[in-house]
Amino acid sequence: MWQPSSARWDIPKHLRPWLNDPGSLTARLNALGRAPIKVQVLRQSWGRPRLSEARTLGLRTSKTCLIREVVLYGPRQQPWVFARSLFPAASLTGALRHLRQLDSRPLGGYLFTHARLGRSKLQLALIPPTGIIPAALQGDTSLWGRRSVFTLYGKKLLVSETFLPDLEQTLQRNT
């Protein structure tokens, strides 16, 4: 399902610059909406990564991660992005221990303030309506997503971002 962004993809024109942008999605969304995005935490709990997530992080599937799922809202409470972040337990120590209590703050707003932030190459996917994303957000359509591994203070975390229909409509109108 997840493939390198360099793979041959038939990505809609209005989404290409967004899916392939290595910068802060939070900053782009703030600029698009001309206001700070709102973050709603849907779930934050300890659990095991999915097989592809474990492989991407270089973990065994038996390792425990803090899993955070949020919705990023644009103006007029439009759900724009579903994000799933995995923080391996070993990554939530030292300078990154406070990431356990992000609450409704955007993760990108924190990560991209660090000059020494590392980021893997982006992976993309066209995500079918299979229950990975809450049905109320996805409906019965496939959605485009991207993910990458961030490295900060020698510790890794995985961030997946799925672009929801309201964001796609906004981008189409602005193209």
CB 43 within 8 A of CB 37: no
Neighbouring C-alpha atoms within 13 Å toward the C-beta of 62: 0
Annotated binding-site residue? 107? yes
Annotated binding-site residue? 68? yes
Distance of alpha carbon 107 from alpha carbon 162, whole angstroms: 15
Long-range CB contacts (within 8 A, 24+) of 135-142: 137/71, 137/79, 137/82, 137/164, 138/82, 138/162, 138/164, 139/165, 141/165
Give the annotated binding-site residues for substrate. 68, 107, 161
Q: Which residues are annotated as a binding site?
A: 68, 107, 161
